Chains A and B, each alone.
Chain A
Amino acid sequence: MSNHSSQGLRKDEHIVIVGASLAGLRAAEALRRRDFAGQITIVGDEKYAPYDRPPLSKHVLTGHLPIEHTPLAMLEDVRATWILGVAATALDVEQRQLSLSNGERLHFDQLLIATGTRARPWPEERGGKLDGVFLIRDRDDSQQLRERLARKPGRVLIAGGGFIGCEVASVCRELDLEVTLVERGPTPLYGALGSSMGSIVARLQQQHGVDLRTRTTVESFEGDAAGRLCRARLSDGSVVEIDVAIVALGALHNTEWLQGSGLAADERGLVCDTYSRVLDAQGQVVEGIFTAGDVARWPQHLCDGDLIAVEHWGNAVDQAENAAGNMLSAETDYRAYKHIPAFWSSQFGINIKAVGLPNRGDEVMVTQGSVERYRFVAAYGRQGRIIAAVSFDQGRWLEAYNTLIEEGATYPPQLAAADQPENMQSQPAGFPAMARHA
């Protein structure tokens, strides 16, 4: 991308990034790649330099990857001042100033907010503080859980059948641990893929010996006199004796520190426009303040500009690039963020990948391969158009589906694939009646 002519004048400019993780690091790299010559300061409340989260629920827990090997690669010389172990506690938009938890104040010319999400905690009065109850979001969570699982505990219970819950269930079976997965919906991955695809995952889990309890929730965890977890009470009245519980009930957006800043931030995320510029509570663009990654809620072109937050790795990388590019551009050269969401998740040896917005689909249909062998592609349709595709061990096809989604191709798709199933049939995708990302 061409840098505009004022580039040379930016030597005195100070760009501050809040959030020292994937989006924050990739944004700093993108600024340097575009020859930004000014100062970059990165503020992160974790004590660690940026590290990668996907392994934390996968091969860190199996023991294949030591936790010290999770730091992210730095792909440019970012020449940043790192302020780690310090949180931003308030933002003064008028004064262009951040307050930090160490009592200092930090002035910026431009700001990128990349504070991400955190794991939804389990209430203390229902056993959240017992020894043996874990969350998984950061390095320490994953390392502590790894150590516990390596000691061969008795039954493990996982609350929540989303991606992280399913991945941890897979790890437990790989380690030959008894595992119970408790999911409120009718199938695992109900919220992400719908019950039609979710039922395939349910079968996969049961074949691998997971004790799957759907349409069920955990009421409480209970411990012994020493505060050690020993059982879970479930909504169906049953009691499960367990040594370890993992709470995987989704994420909360880290926006509390922005209360009082006047920005459009709440528990659903921080709202920005199509150029990744944040908006204030009145819906007006705030100049020079951008956002990217899990925390950002942005207008998605695939669904009429509805605001969505995409909590996947690929979005953090792409939006960081978009925000950094626009930070260094004149407004006339701004690029719109036209990202098509994508993710991968590995469980039970199967690579599940998706592109598009599965949970905006009304219908779904297997278009290639074999469901029985867990090697297939399925397309999601919304109002006669392809809105998403998911693959099980057939990732190489997704780029073609990405193109169909981009082009707004019709659903059911007109394919000429050799491995098309004989009786392709569209069925309801099976999502909760209420649009989940509204």
Chain B
Amino acid sequence: MRISVDLNRCQGYGQCCFADPSVFKLRGEEVLEFDPAPGDEHRLKVIRAAKACPVQAIYIGESYEEQEERSHRHE
């Protein structure tokens, strides 16, 4: 799992931080720092965070390695 946050859109209210405080952290009033590569055990909490975001700034995707592995399996 990899995540991306559109920090232009993010408004720094911190709902995501409630959902998974070890992946999303607010520093100061509205600076969001996030871990783009959390372990798989975070998946449910990250999905919850993405749903909670009022401006839908959080995207969940895959890593390059995950995609490459799948494409080699299909070859």
Binding site for B on A (CB under 8 A): 49-50, 52, 54-55, 58-59, 64-65, 68-79, 82, 313-314, 317, 342-344, 346, 349-351, 353, 375, 393, 395-396
Query: Contact residue range for chain B?
Result: 20 to 34
Q: Is B12 an interface position by the 8 A CB rule?
A: yes
Asked whether A72 lies within 8 Å of B28 as measured between CB atoms, the reply is no
Q: Is B36 an interface position by the 8 A CB rule?
A: yes
Main secondary structure of the interface of A (DSSP, over half): mixed
Bound form: Cα–Cα A256–B33 in Å: 35
Q: With A50-B64, A342-B8, A343-B8 given, is the CB distance from A73 to B27 under 8 Å?
A: no
Bound form: Cα–Cα A76–B61 in Å: 7
Residue numbers in A under 8 Å from B62 (CB-CB): 73-74, 77
Asked whether B8 lies within 8 Å of A52 as measured between CB atoms, the reply is no
Bound form: Cα–Cα A79–B36 in Å: 21
Q: List 23 A-B contacts (CB under 8 A).
A: A65-B35, A69-B36, A69-B37, A70-B36, A71-B2, A72-B36, A73-B2, A73-B60, A74-B2, A74-B67, A75-B61, A77-B62, A77-B67, A79-B67, A82-B64, A314-B6, A314-B8, A344-B8, A351-B31, A393-B29, A395-B10, A395-B12, A396-B13
Asked whether A73 lies within 8 Å of B4 as measured between CB atoms, the reply is yes
Q: Select which of B2, B6, B29, B33 is within 8 A of A72 by beta carbon.
A: B2
Q: Select which of B3, B6, B10, B28 is within 8 A of A393 by beta carbon.
A: B28
Known A69-B37, A351-B28; further 19 A-B contacts with Cβ < 8 A? A69-B35, A71-B2, A73-B3, A73-B59, A73-B63, A74-B67, A75-B4, A77-B62, A78-B67, A82-B64, A342-B8, A343-B8, A350-B28, A350-B29, A350-B31, A351-B12, A353-B8, A393-B28, A395-B30
Residue numbers in A under 8 Å from B68 (CB-CB): 82
Main secondary structure of the interface of B (DSSP, over half): mixed
Residue numbers in A under 8 Å from B4 (CB-CB): 52, 72-73, 75
Binding site for A on B (CB under 8 A): 2-4, 6-8, 10-13, 27-31, 33, 35-37, 59-68, 70-71
Asked whether A396 lies within 8 Å of B11 as measured between CB atoms, the reply is yes
Asked whether B63 lies within 8 Å of A74 as measured between CB atoms, the reply is yes
**In angstroms, how far is the closest chain A Cβ from the Cβ of B33?**
5
**In angstroms, how far is the closest chain B Cβ from the Cβ of A165?**
18
Instruction: List the B residue with the shortest CB-CB distance to A393.
Output: B29
